Chains A and B, each alone.
Chain A
């Protein structure tokens, strides 16, 4: 089906592109210039030097190790979310039991818990479990704090599955288990990819839990490493942004890759 181009939407999206793009340009430009050039020209000027020092500097400050740690945390958090949240969301959407309705409220409550608020008891909990300064001690709470939002997003997606489809499967005598694997999971792919993106970002950008729950260099994650560019009385902005750009490259790649797969998948569905 062909539709006329929507000029208004196009113009609006271009304006937003400018608002989003300008800071991103500033960021990229800053990382490719020397600290002196940046300080002299200010953020919005055109760079007149070119250097990769800000990137090599990031690696010199132990970025490689931090990168691996962050990757481990992210993969594990996403794994835990994917393992535990879909069944939860399925129960929230499809179960008629009073207990699940209570659980839904519990997770709504959970949504409102700022990590800051519970960090002190969390520290004691993790210490008691012997997980202090261990990546697992970061992974478990980070994953748990992804649950409420993921459950909300995913149950929203699952609600949109037509009840007729469930009825049709019930006609075939499908068990809840079969419905889950053959109907619910495939049809909530959009929601699943959103929660993957969401929880991966939470883990990748997580700051507070790693800060309080780890200590040694061998367990440091990227967000903590970024602070190497900050001293007590100042920030090396090009250096910091260089590390920021490096840290977002993998996530952006995953997103681009996943996005293409997503679009293809949807076209496949549309063809039926």
Chain B
């Protein structure tokens, strides 16, 4: 026991060392994030795509007197962190968002700078972007966001080989889809892969079917606060068609245990265990990473089937229109912010985005389509989005953030039978619209 008496001294030494380290750590902490250091802080969602954002910030800093600093918030908790800091002195000057409902609470709290003045001084800030995309960051008639990554329409992907083996053509109409489901099931594969564990892939089926049957108007009304829209005949028709699809075994039995985000549902398609998957356009680059051979040879893609008699135009798309940069009202350097936003339609920006597989939504994008990794796919998407009569922003992004969880729960519960038609309608009527 006596031999241990030195121990406390060691402990004390360790602690002193620790504190010394702490102090030295403080020394080089630069206190970033404060808004009065003569710089503009640009806050973005942290992932591999940050490469381009870094490049653009560097380009900006070459000529600008006011320097920009890029801060990233990792992944899934972006919105949480943003909401915590946005009304404090640590808020950024410019930040990444999804347009629509994701910025609506900030607009209501009068935190965002309407970009109309910027646009008046430089009309390109509006006319260089595809209108259907630009409009999803317009709130109450004022523009609040400039598109800053790529557009991500939702497409119906397929495995050409699986379809051929089952004698199925990519479906153009809903009935052809139901027929394909039957044939694929008979040939022993899961007709449609679905990452139900993530919940949002399930939602995509609702978004498209509602749009095809009722047109974009129904959802717009519902979002505007008209709860009866959910109770309309069109709404009920969409639900019963979804029910029919699920009951036909289109998604197999264990889709709620499958996730898209860990690569499980794309693997089903790539390995010929499933025929279709409805997913955002990022699916292509995902398959290119995970299953190069398949992506090059057998990965097919089409638009969502039409529904005969439906009110929605066949050219309508749903999905993520783009991501946006919005500017905070309290920024001390609005001119610099405007200059920074102008880079979002520059040739350099478009080329850099194309190089990492994103499809920007500027009008000059068309010039560079041939430089894309897969020009055919890029052109298909670009034409689709540019010509779309309506581009419906994903429901979970159109509604304010507080509605996201209830929406996800409701679509999952409708698919697995915990909610019937009426239950689903009630759940949607209970959503907060502002």
Are A and B in direct contact (Cβ within 8 Å)? yes
If A218-B32, A235-B262, A237-B263 touch, does A230 touch B76 (CB 8 Å cutoff)? yes
Assess whether B74 is in contact with A227, with CB atoms less than 8 Å apart.
yes
Within the complex, which residue of B11, B22, B34, B47 is in contact with A231, where a contact is CB–CB below 8 Å? Answer: B47
Assess whether A123 is in contact with B29, with CB atoms less than 8 Å apart.
no
Assess whether B22 is in contact with A233, with CB atoms less than 8 Å apart.
no
Indicate if A189 sits at the interface (CB-CB under 8 A): yes
Indicate if A146 sits at the interface (CB-CB under 8 A): no
Indicate if A182 sits at the interface (CB-CB under 8 A): yes
Interface residue ranges of B221-280 to A (CB < 8 Å): 260-263, 266-267, 270-271, 280
In the assembled complex, which residues on chain B have CB atoms less than 8 Å from the CB atom of A82? 11, 14-15
Assess whether B47 is in contact with A232, with CB atoms less than 8 Å apart.
yes
Indicate if B430 sits at the interface (CB-CB under 8 A): no
Interface residue ranges of B174-233 to A (CB < 8 Å): none
Assess whether B261 is in contact with A235, with CB atoms less than 8 Å apart.
yes
Assess whether A186 is in contact with B1, with CB atoms less than 8 Å apart.
yes
Query: Per-residue 0/1 for B78-102: is the Cβ within 8 Å of any A Cβ (1 yes, 0 no)?
Result: 0011001100111000000000000
Indicate if B49 sits at the interface (CB-CB under 8 A): yes
Within the complex, which residue of B21, B69, B80 is in contact with A75, where a contact is CB–CB below 8 Å? Answer: B21
Q: Bound complex: CA of A75 vs CA of B23, how far in Å?
A: 12
Nearest residue, chain B, Cβ from A122: B84
Nearest residue, chain B, Cβ from A239: B48
Give the number of chain B interface residues (Cβ < 8 Å).
62
In the assembled complex, which residues on chain B have CB atoms less than 8 Å from the CB atom of A245? none
Indicate if A216 sits at the interface (CB-CB under 8 A): yes
Nearest residue, chain B, Cβ from A184: B8
Indicate if A194 sits at the interface (CB-CB under 8 A): no
Assess whether A40 is in contact with B18, with CB atoms less than 8 Å apart.
no
In the assembled complex, which residues on chain A have CB atoms less than 8 Å from the CB atom of B11? 82-83, 86, 185
Shortest CB–CB separation between residue B203 and chain A, in angstroms?
A: 13
If A215-B33, A234-B286 touch, does A136 touch B1 (CB 8 Å cutoff)? no
Indicate if B7 sits at the interface (CB-CB under 8 A): yes
Assess whether A79 is in contact with B90, with CB atoms less than 8 Å apart.
no
Nearest residue, chain A, Cβ from B45: A232
Assess whether A233 is in contact with B4, with CB atoms less than 8 Å apart.
no
Q: Which of B111-119, B288-296, B337-345 contacts A (4 or more CB under 8 A)?
A: B288-296
Indicate if B71 sits at the interface (CB-CB under 8 A): yes
Q: Bound complex: CA of A29 vs CA of B286, how far in Å?
A: 21
Shortest CB–CB separation between residue A108 and chain B, in angstroms?
A: 25
15 more CB-based (< 8 A) A-B contacts, given A76-B21, A83-B15, A228-B74: A35-B290, A40-B271, A76-B19, A82-B11, A119-B84, A127-B88, A127-B90, A133-B32, A133-B90, A215-B71, A218-B30, A218-B32, A229-B48, A235-B263, A237-B262
Supply 25 A–B pairs (Cβ within 8 Å), ascending by A. Answer: A39-B267, A39-B290, A40-B267, A76-B22, A79-B16, A119-B84, A130-B31, A132-B31, A134-B26, A135-B29, A136-B26, A182-B2, A185-B11, A187-B1, A211-B81, A215-B90, A217-B71, A218-B28, A227-B46, A228-B48, A231-B47, A233-B280, A233-B282, A234-B282, A269-B1
Q: Which residues of B contact A (CB under 8 A)?
A: 1-5, 7-8, 11-12, 14-19, 21-22, 25-26, 28-34, 43, 45-49, 69, 71-77, 80-81, 84-85, 88-90, 260-263, 266-267, 270-271, 280, 282, 286, 289-292
